[in-house]
A and B are shown apart, each in its own frame.
Chain A
Amino acid sequence: MLTYALIPILPFAGFLIAGLFGKYLKERAAYAAIAGVVGAFLLSFSTFLDVLDGTIINENLYSWISIGTLSVNVGFQIDQLTAVMLLVVTTLSSLIHIYSVGYMHGDKGYARFFSYLALFTFFMLVLVMANNFLLMFVGWEGVGLCSYLLIGFWYEKKSASDAGVKAFVVNRVGDFGFVLGMLLIFSTFGTLDFAGVFAALSGPAAKQSIALLGGNISVVTLIALLLFLGATGKSAQLPLYVWLPDAMEGPTPVSALIHAATMVTAGVFMVSRCAPIFSLSETAMTTVAVVGGLTAVFAATIGLVQNDIKRVIAYSTISQLGYMFLGLGVGAFSAGIFHLTTHAFFKGLLFLASGSVIHALSGEQDMRKMGALKSKISITHVVFIIGSLALAGIFPFAGFFSKDEILWSAYSSPGMGRVLWLLGVAGAFMTAFYSFRLIYLTFYGESRIDHEVEHHVHESPKVMTVPLMILAFFSLTIGWIGMPGAILPNVNLFGNFLAPIFPHAEHAAAESHGIERWLMLFSVLVALSGIRMAYSLYVKNTSLPDRIADRYKGAYNLLLSKYKIDEIYNYLFVDGLVHKVATFLYKVGDVKIVDGAVNGIARLIGTTSERGRRIQTGYVQQYAFTMGLGLVVLVGLYYVLK
């Protein structure tokens, strides 16, 4: 048991050491964090071996909260899904820790950075290992906190701290759903343990339904939707994706680890963890699929025209997450997780690589100020291409296998499967296009770099390039563990590994392999054409893009300004619903009405007193007269009383 507990504890220890003694350790603090994370990686690997044979470990550490019927433990449930996540998280985390040693070198917040990073790893591990919703929520919010801290890492930059707050609050909106989901789960099933809840799903409790807004909705659906709201927040799906692009304010390793590889996939993980619940509700599944599909395309369109190298990748991340949800939505949970895994590697790679570019250009992020870098930073160039091919889904790179599994399951799923498939393909085309647009703009064409920057362009140090190469290797190979039956039958290791924990929603039947192959070919072609188009636009005749932009000014500006969603949200919610209302309520409601009433009464009594003083004229006769008046009134009472 303790070994499992150690997995999160080691990074936490790293955090404590780096955090508390950072002041004295200086840059040595990094080693504490790295040691913790790498340790966690090794333990995770052994854990992976433990569950390889399909066993599921579920143990409680201690009783956390127990009131009446509410009894929540701090405990771990380690099944195959967890094992996968553990490996992904710890691997990426370790590599990125190492990479950061070089990247963050000389930053004054060096120790702080590593402590945050280790803390993040801790919470992420708690999230994936939890055996009940509440503990999962701890990790869930914890990673949110770390992302807040790391986005705002350079807190002197207002934009950075703003982005941090934005990320946290938007996530809170999602968590609002998560919390309500948990409350509903408890009030329905009387427990928050995964095992307990899933067991109870077959029982009568799951059948009931509650009135909502006049309509009547099944409890399970409601739970699923609420949880999914949480997922959209964390995994930056419509309509809560807005925080992720801004999150690029953070240091690049952070973008790689948190906002590409791990944290943002927590939503995907949570949904697949709750697969039993979701798969009970058609509505919920469709919602997930549709939201995923739409996000995939929507984000891709924005990605087409962005000029900030990291933002392009950020939007691609949103879009790829969309794919994952699309997969989950059509019931291909393992496909979703598979894409999560591959994506983690190649997207991590891409971010780190772009980091290396930015590093080389001493902080420049605007692609319009790049170009012709391929010879100057060749390693970065190569790995970047590998990552992009993986992203574009070109055979045999990792992205190809996972994406096609999703597309195929979408295609073969009943209902609106074909529509979703089309969305996916469209997304694939755009993905290929913008990822190579990025490559061409960055590495090819003629240099547009400022001169003083130009002089000290240099390849990154080993400590950065080695992780890049490792990731590149995985981006190439990791996909092969999920070899589709259509290419090599029955060697889908990944699928088989996860098979025991997911309900079998795989529609892929053996005889339909024919169609599957054609579809694969088609999507690859689509991707290639996307790449070709990028080539013709950004290498062959570079004036064309501007002309197109002029031609379709409206559309172009709309995309460039990201559909003005941020502005709208700001206007509606941040300014309107919060600040304006608050100021009004305070100035009028509290000061004038609520407090005004109180002070008003006081003032009334005061003035009464002042007025009363005039009655006390000082004339003795008036006093006597008052007495007489009193006498008369009292005597008059005789007629009242009797």
Chain B
Amino acid sequence: MIPLSWYVILSAALFTIGVVGVFSRRNIFILLMSIELMLNAANINFIAFSHYLQSLTGQIFVIFVITVAAAEAAVALAIIILLARNRGSVYVDEFNIMKG
């Protein structure tokens, strides 16, 4: 049988990749997708745990996570469109009018 820790470690690795992605890439889409990576890492955890704990809560949580992710993506993309419209750029490091 597959040890639970394998799943957890996999998710940890995935989470980390997501985090690093958020830090490093300029392109806002890739930023968002990196965040999705983090969410997916969490999802893997939930599913794995719910499997090993014999409890459905994890799966339920994942459903909600995905729902929220969808809503968030919609809003995010809307804002990106605004930005692209007003600034003609999708590179986050160009959005720094406000600092200090």
Contact = CB atoms under 8 A, between A and B. Distances in A.
* A and B co-occur in one complex: yes
Contacts of A621: 22-24, 26, 31, 92-93
Given A613-B100, A616-B100, A625 B23 contact: yes
B97 A628 contact: no
A618 interface: yes
A73 B24 CA distance: 90
Nearest to A624: B22
Contacts of A552: none
A625 B23 CA distance: 6
B98 interface: yes
B17 interface: no
B95 interface: yes
Contact of A624 (B23, B95, B99): B23
Contact of A618 (B23, B26, B31, B97): B97
B92 A619 contact: yes
B96 interface: yes
A375 interface: no
Contacts of B98: 618
Interface in B22-54: 22-24, 26, 31
Interface residues of A, number: 10
Contacts of A618: 95-100
The majority secondary structure among interface residues of chain A is helix
A621 B31 CA distance: 9
B90 interface: no
A617 interface: yes
B87 to A, nearest CB: 14
A638 to B, nearest CB: 15
Nearest to A612: B100
A620 interface: yes
Contacts of A624: 22-23
Contacts of B93: 619-621
B22 A616 contact: no
A254 to B, nearest CB: 74
B62 interface: no
Contacts of B65: none
B19 A628 contact: yes
Contacts of A625: 23
Contacts of A617: 96, 99
Interface string B65-100: 000000000000000000000000000110111111
Given A624-B22, A628-B23, A619 B100 contact: no
Interface in A234-290: none
Contacts of B26: 621
B42 to A, nearest CB: 15
Nearest to B28: A620
Given A621-B92, A621-B93, A616 B19 contact: no
Interface in B1-24: 19, 22-24
B85 to A, nearest CB: 19
A620 B100 contact: no
Contacts of A619: 92-93, 96
B96 to A, nearest CB: 3
Residue of A613, A620, A628 with highest tally of chain B CB at under 10 A: A620
Contacts of B23: 621, 624-625, 628
A606 to B, nearest CB: 15
A227 B22 CA distance: 88
Interface string A607-618: 000000100111
A613 B95 CA distance: 17
Nearest to B20: A628
Nearest to B31: A621
Nearest to A610: B100
B81 to A, nearest CB: 18
A612 to B, nearest CB: 9
A620 B76 CA distance: 15
A616 B22 CA distance: 18
A615 to B, nearest CB: 9
A625 B24 CA distance: 9
Interface in A621-642: 621, 624-625, 628
B25 to A, nearest CB: 8
Nearest to A620: B92
A616 B93 CA distance: 13
Interface string A143-169: 000000000000000000000000000
Contact of A616 (B31, B92, B95, B99): B99
B76 to A, nearest CB: 13
A620 B80 CA distance: 14
Contacts of B24: 621
B33 to A, nearest CB: 15
Nearest to A613: B100
Nearest to B25: A621
A617 B100 CA distance: 6
Contacts of B92: 619-621
Nearest to B98: A618
A628 B98 CA distance: 21
A155 B56 CA distance: 104
Nearest to B26: A621
A547 B100 CA distance: 89
Contacts of B99: 613, 616-618
Given A618-B97, A628-B19, 9 more contacts: A613-B99, A616-B100, A618-B96, A618-B98, A618-B99, A618-B100, A619-B92, A620-B93, A620-B95
**Top 10 nearest A-B pairs by Cβ distance?**
A618-B99, A618-B96, A613-B100, A625-B23, A620-B92, A619-B93, A624-B22, A616-B100, A616-B99, A621-B23
Interface of B: 19, 22-24, 26, 31, 92-93, 95-100
Interface of A: 613, 616-621, 624-625, 628
30 contacts: A613-B99, A613-B100, A616-B99, A616-B100, A617-B96, A617-B99, A618-B95, A618-B96, A618-B97, A618-B98, A618-B99, A618-B100, A619-B92, A619-B93, A619-B96, A620-B92, A620-B93, A620-B95, A621-B22, A621-B23, A621-B24, A621-B26, A621-B31, A621-B92, A621-B93, A624-B22, A624-B23, A625-B23, A628-B19, A628-B23
